[in-house]
């Protein structure tokens, strides 16, 4: 069932709410919408889960204002939905920029209403490279995306979609993914991309204190696997699941494994902390600050 929930600045967010049981709140990636999780919305309600998909402002069926695309504002949007639906002991599952927003939510709102966290291909701790942080994408890559968005947004979406998965899939799948991308508003596409460039979550990671699963494709060309390893090291009681045959969209590249890992984590107890060695990612240099 779909409904609109109005947040503090009078923006109306579209929220899909299907099933009964433990609530799982899905936050989509850029420049998509909640429909990217349609297979999970088919599977999980059969297993006793309530699937809640939020279209972020500027995307899907939600309002598309010019302002309000900072991580803080969008994290507050998530809080407004959780409060309106009176959710308790929910699982927060964020993909790509949705993962970044989930991290900010856990920090800014002290994990209100959340008992478990899932970060999928998360654009965190920082999507771009910064001083003392060489792991993200070059800032020039984001600037090129912004130029392409302003000159030929449909082609930009096509080019970006080609990086999304390690396996190209069918022409119909490519058209489906492209349609979701072009359905986004131009302003939402631009402003969230600017936030991806400007926001830094390194100070938020230590605020996460719930069991956390980190899903990441080893062949991810959008958010490199090093980001997942950094998250794993920085979040106590986290579990890193690497999808060896996947790019950014591991839920499409390895759907069977994704389904198994997702349902296993949802049903399981608290996960153990696993150590990351220096062979995985070098963090002991004084040039690197997490």
Q: Where are the domains of the chain?
A: 2-267
Listed in sequence order, the residues at least 6 apart from 143 whose beta carbon sits closer than 8 Å to its beta carbon are 197
The predicted pLDDT at position 269 comes to 57
The predicted pLDDT at position 278 comes to 31
| Residue 285: alpha-carbon gap to chain centroid | 28
Listed in sequence order, the residues at least 6 apart from 112 whose beta carbon sits closer than 8 Å to its beta carbon are 79, 82
Alpha-carbon distance of 34 to 257, in angstroms, equals 21
Q: Is the dihedral of CA 36, 40, 41, 43 positive or negative?
A: positive
Alpha-carbon distance of 195 to 201, in angstroms, equals 11
Burial of 215 (0-12, 13-18, 19+ CB in 10 A): buried
Taking alpha carbons only, the member of 89, 75, 69, 99 closest to residue 22 is: 89
Cα dihedral 213, 89, 206, 135 in deg (nearest 10): 40
Q: Report the half-sphere exposure of 48 (CA within 13 A, side-chain side).
A: 4
CATH number of 2-267: 3.40.50.1820
Tell me the pLDDT of the chain (290 aa) as tens digits: 899 999 999 999 999 999 999 999 999 999 999 999 999 999 999 999 999 999 999 999 999 999 999 999 999 999 999 999 999 999 999 999 999 999 999 999 999 999 999 999 999 999 999 999 999 999 999 999 999 999 999 999 999 999 999 987 899 999 999 999 999 999 999 999 999 999 999 999 999 999 999 999 999 999 999 999 999 999 999 999 999 999 999 999 999 999 999 999 999 854 443 433 333 333 332 333 45
Using alpha carbons, list the distances in angstroms from residue 178 to 2, 32, 153, 174, 251. 23, 9, 11, 6, 16
Q: Which residues are catalytic?
A: 96, 220, 248
Q: Are strands 49-54 and 12-18 parallel, antiparallel or unpaired?
A: antiparallel
- Which ranges in the chain belong to alpha helices (H)? 38-43, 71-84, 97-108, 139-162, 171-183, 186-198, 225-234, 250-253, 255-267
Listed in sequence order, the residues at least 6 apart from 49 whose beta carbon sits closer than 8 Å to its beta carbon are 19, 21, 22, 23, 24, 266
Tokens describing residue 72:
């803080």
Phi/psi at 48 (5° precision)? 90, 30
Tokens describing residue 85:
């639906």
Tokens describing residue 228:
């997942």
DSSP 216: E
What size, in residues, is the chain? 290
| Residue 183: alpha-carbon gap to chain centroid | 18
């Amino acid at each position: 069932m779909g409904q609109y929930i109005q947040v503090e600045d009078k923006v109306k967010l579209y929220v899909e709410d299907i099933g009964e049981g433990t609530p799982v709140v899905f936050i989509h990636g850029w420049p998509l919408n909640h429909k990217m999780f349609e297979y999970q919305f088919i599977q999980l309600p059969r297993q006793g889960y309530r699937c809640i998909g939020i279209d972020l402002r500027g995307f899907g069926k939600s309002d598309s204002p010019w302002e309000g695309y900072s991580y803080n504002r969008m994290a507050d949007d998530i809080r407004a939905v959780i409060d309106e639906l009176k959710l308790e002991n929910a699982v927060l599952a964020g993909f790509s920029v949705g993962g970044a927003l989930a991290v900010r939510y856990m920090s800014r709102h002290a994990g209100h209403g959340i008992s478990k966290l899932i970060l999928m291909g998360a654009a965190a701790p920082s999507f771009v490279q910064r001083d003392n942080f060489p792991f993200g994408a070059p800032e020039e890559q984001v600037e090129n995306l912004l130029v392409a968005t302003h000159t030929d947004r449909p082609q930009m979406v096509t080019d970006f979609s080609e990086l999304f998965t390690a396996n190209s899939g069918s022409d119909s799948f490519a058209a489906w993914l492209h349609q979701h991308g072009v359905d986004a508003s131009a302003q939402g596409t631009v402003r969230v991309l600017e936030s991806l460039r400007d926001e830094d979550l390194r100070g938020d990671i230590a605020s996460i204190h719930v069991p956390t699963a980190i899903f990441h494709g080893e062949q991810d060309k959008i958010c490199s696997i090093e980001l997942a390893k950094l998250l794993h090291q920085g979040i106590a009681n986290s579990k890193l699941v690497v999808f060896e045959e996947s790019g950014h969209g591991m839920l499409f590249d390895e759907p069977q494994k994704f389904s198994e890992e997702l349902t296993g984590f949802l049903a399981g107890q608290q996960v153990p902390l696993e150590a990351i060695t220096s062979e995985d990612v070098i963090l002991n240099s004084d040039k690197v600050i997490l």
